[in-house]
Structure 1
Amino acid sequence: MGGGDNSKDKDSIGLLENDGGGERECCGKQGKGKRLWKKVKYQLVEYHSLPAFLRDNEYILGHYRSEWPMKQVLLSIFTIHNETLNVWTHLIGFFLFLALTIYTAMQVPNVIDLNSLQHLPDFLKNADLHKLQAELLTCLPSMPDLQRLRDEISSWHIKELLYNCLPNNVKDDLANIIAPLVISPITRWPFYAFLGGAMFCLLASSVCHLLSCHSERVSYIMLRLDYAGIAALISTSFYPPVYYSFMCYPFFCNLYMGSITLLGIATILVSLLPVFQTPEFRTTRASLFLGMGLSGAVPILHKLFLFWGEPEVFYTTGYEILMGALYGLGALVYATRIPERWMPGKFDIAGHSHQLFHVLVVAGAYTHYHAGLVYLRWRDLRGC
């Protein structure tokens, strides 16, 4: 019996050993399976595998991130997928405008003072002062109410009359030198409002393209933020041209600025509707934002009517036409999905319409920045 018991014990031990090996093998397979699932789970997928909320452009066939955890979504900013350039084109644009804002705050109010005074000795040396004095004496008696000149020497009107008395051949040079000494810079808040709107739009767009693949709820929130950023950029782009063009005409200034602000708010409210984000409304979205931009033609034409003949007006209008053309071309490319609709799958990573749209938006905003600098210099010198 003892031998039989020993045999049973050995069989039991063998059975336990076999079971242990099977368990270890099973656990090993499970570990490998988890690791493999992890790799597969965070692989890029094709368009037909996407949930409905991520299906926006059927001509981009692959390289999608789909419902990834937030950690992997954030880390994907450094990996290659079909949203990589969408993220970085506007993120780089954000840092560009952040640098421009800092530069404007630190340098633009003082750049004339520092640079112009260096040329004052050369100007005085080369100028025909006797001829200049004769021309000024000829001009000054024709000015109305000379007695008020002493009392209102700091007023914009008197400064403008003095500026207009200068001969054309020396007007710009002398004005650039003496203007900072007698004229306080005009208010900058409309210009900073535009810079803030541009930074908000670019950062919101970049974050939207990075995070929207996480979940349907996050995608819904991010798209609303993106639309709000576009409306903010368009609205605040109106502020510098409208304010600096019509600062001497408060009624028109308030009318135009109020109208574009209300239009921007209305656009944001419309964008909150769930149907607004569906692919079927892609053209409607582009048309709505394009319509906001085209409404700027009214104040531009009004500005040309009021200040026809002044060089700064033509310079700023040229910049604004270029900006509008860049924005309009971007909206057209976005709505028509060119070039990926011509060769589906060929532009999944680089070169598709949304990336081109982003580049054109940054280019248009940068063009508008230069128009703003012309407005500042013009109003600093001219005033009201």
Structure 2
Amino acid sequence: MDPTLDSKPASEPVKTKKWKKRVRSSSPPPPCALVSYKELPEYMKDNEFILSYYRAHWPVKEALFSIFRWHNETLNVWTHLLGFVLFLGLTMTHLIQVPQVADLIAFFTRYFPMSGDLNVSHDPQDHFMRAIPANLIDLKLESDVARVTRWPFYVFLAGSMFCLLSSTVCHLFSCHSHHLNLSLLRLDYAGITTMIITSFFPPIYYIFQCDPQWHFIYLGGITVLGLFTIATLLSPALSTKKFRGFRALLFSSMALFGIIPGIHAAIVNWSNPRRNVTLAYELAMAMFYLTGTLFYVSRIPERFKPGWFDLAGHSHQIFHVLVVMGALAHYGASLVFLDWRDRHSC
């Protein structure tokens, strides 16, 4: 018997099994799967201390619905999305002429008797007058009094909402493609810059209301600096991780620009009884923003324990929370400015 004939049938099943194994090992990964840092394309490799739970090359629809999935951008999306909803609610509250949410709640709760005293009178008009909160009556009585213009306050609210919404969109859809990733990063940087610019409008406008030339100097200066920052960050090269420190320096320089008008405002309003309250709010805002920037640059805490903070607790999430808290502190200061100018005009 020819040995070559015997060897062929025996070898064929072995080759078939090996071929089948190779087919199984080369099968494509499941669609919309989470990948590790090493599997990312180069343009998405931003934080080497976040090791897993990345999205890459996801279709727009899947990226949108990933807002309800756990990945390393989930909390980045929700922290600023909830911040946007919060500021949208605050804006609507002021637009309907209710200064504080507590006033709106009181308007409805006062209709329900809290004790038997309300039933003493049988006069319907008396019931109605008891149901209306005193602060709303005061608003009605003071409606004829000229109130200070609100547009600088709404400029700040609009800038804050634009920043928070653009950040939300960026973190949600930047996993789609390289082109969209770069475009959304620039939108995110433009949103941060816009928020910084518009934050200057309420304090500078209301503090220097009686000296309008300073409006042009300070608001013009921060606007020009902000537009230069946006134009600089539109460069694709400056959107890379290599220039992360440079971007932080640009944002910090804009924030530090406020030291000059801040000192000037403290001198002008040194005898103002609201001075200490507004300074406390503004110092809190500055601390929140600067601390957030330090987390953003230093990559703490994930730097010390790579992989431990992939889903929750990494530096960018902390940065997002501190940005919202800083914006809320500035919102509190703006309310003090409004109340002061409503009572003391030039």
The TM-score, its normalising length taken from structure 1, stands at: 0.72
Question: What is aligned with 1:232?
Answer: 194
SS of residue in 1 equivalent to 2:142: helix
CA pair 247-75 structure 1, distance change in 2 beyond 3 A: same
After alignment, is 42-51 or 199-208 more displaced?
Answer: 42-51
Which amino acid counterpart does residue 190 of structure 1 have in structure 2? P
Q: Please state if 1:276 is matched with 2:238.
A: yes
Q: Please state if 1:86 is matched with 2:48.
A: no
For structure 1, list consecutive stretches of 5 or more residues without a partner in the other structure: 1-28, 116-175
SS of residue in 2 equivalent to 1:311: coil
Which amino acid counterpart does residue 41 of structure 2 have in structure 1? P
Q: Please state if 1:40 is matched with 2:30.
A: yes
SS of residue in 1 equivalent to 2:199: helix
Higher helix share: 1
Which amino acid counterpart does residue 284 of structure 1 have in structure 2? F
Q: Please state if 1:220 is matched with 2:182.
A: yes
SS of residue in 1 equivalent to 2:200: helix
Provide the rounded CA distance (Å) in 2 between the counterparts of 1:178 and 1:340: 54
1:62 to 52, 55, 60: 52
Which amino acid counterpart does residue 239 of structure 1 have in structure 2? F
Question: What is aligned with 1:373?
Answer: 335
Shift, 1:109, TM fit: 5.9
Structure with larger Rg: 1
Q: Please state if 1:297 is matched with 2:287.
A: no
- RMSD over aligned CA atoms reads 2.5
Residue pair 1:179, 1:381 contacting (<8 A) in 2 also? no
Shift, 1:65, TM fit: 0.3
2:156 to 187, 191, 194: 194
Which amino acid counterpart does residue 273 of structure 2 have in structure 1? P
Alignment of 1:305-324 (within 5 A): 305-324=267-286
Provide the rounded CA distance (Å) in 2 between the counterparts of 1:298 and 1:108: 34
Shift, 1:181, TM fit: 5.9
SS of residue in 1 equivalent to 2:226: helix
Write out per-residue CA displacement over residues 119-154 of structure 1, whole angstroms, 9 at most, x where no aligned residue: xxxxxxxxxxxxxxxxxxxxxxxxxxxxxxxxxxxx
1:327 to 272, 283, 289: 289
Which amino acid counterpart does residue 79 of structure 2 have in structure 1? T
Question: What is aligned with 1:105?
Answer: 95
Shift, 1:297, TM fit: 1.1
Shift, 1:59, TM fit: 0.4
Count of residue pairs brought into register by the alignment: 292
After alignment, is 302-311 or 373-382 more displaced?
Answer: 302-311
Write out per-residue CA displacement over residues 179-230 of structure 1, whole angstroms, 9 at most, x where no aligned residue: 9366311000000000000000000000000001100000011001000000
Shift, 1:313, TM fit: 2.3
Residue pair 1:201, 1:226 contacting (<8 A) in 2 also? yes
Provide the rounded CA distance (Å) in 2 between the counterparts of 1:266 and 1:324: 22
Provide the rounded CA distance (Å) in 2 between the counterparts of 1:194 and 1:71: 32
Shift, 1:308, TM fit: 0.4
The TM-score, its normalising length taken from structure 2, stands at: 0.80
For structure 2, list consecutive stretches of 5 or more residues without a partner in the other structure: 1-19, 107-137
Write out per-residue CA displacement over residues 16-75 of structure 1, whole angstroms, 9 at most, x where no aligned residue: xxxxxxxxxxxxx9xxx9xx74x6232111101111110100000000001111121111
Question: What is aligned with 1:73?
Answer: 63
SS of residue in 2 equivalent to 1:321: helix
Shift, 1:254, TM fit: 1.2
Residue pair 1:197, 1:232 contacting (<8 A) in 2 also? yes
SS of residue in 1 equivalent to 2:302: coil
Alignment of 1:2-13 (within 5 A): none
Shift, 1:107, TM fit: 3.2
Provide the rounded CA distance (Å) in 2 between the counterparts of 1:85 and 1:109: 31
Alignment of 1:333-348 (within 5 A): 333-348=295-310
Which amino acid counterpart does residue 240 of structure 1 have in structure 2? P
Question: What is aligned with 1:254?
Answer: 216
Equivalent pairs: percent with the same residue?
52
Shift, 1:318, TM fit: 1.3
Residue pair 1:329, 1:360 contacting (<8 A) in 2 also? yes
Residue pair 1:183, 1:381 contacting (<8 A) in 2 also? no
Which amino acid counterpart does residue 92 of structure 2 have in structure 1? I
Provide the rounded CA distance (Å) in 1 between the counterparts of 2:203 and 2:289: 17
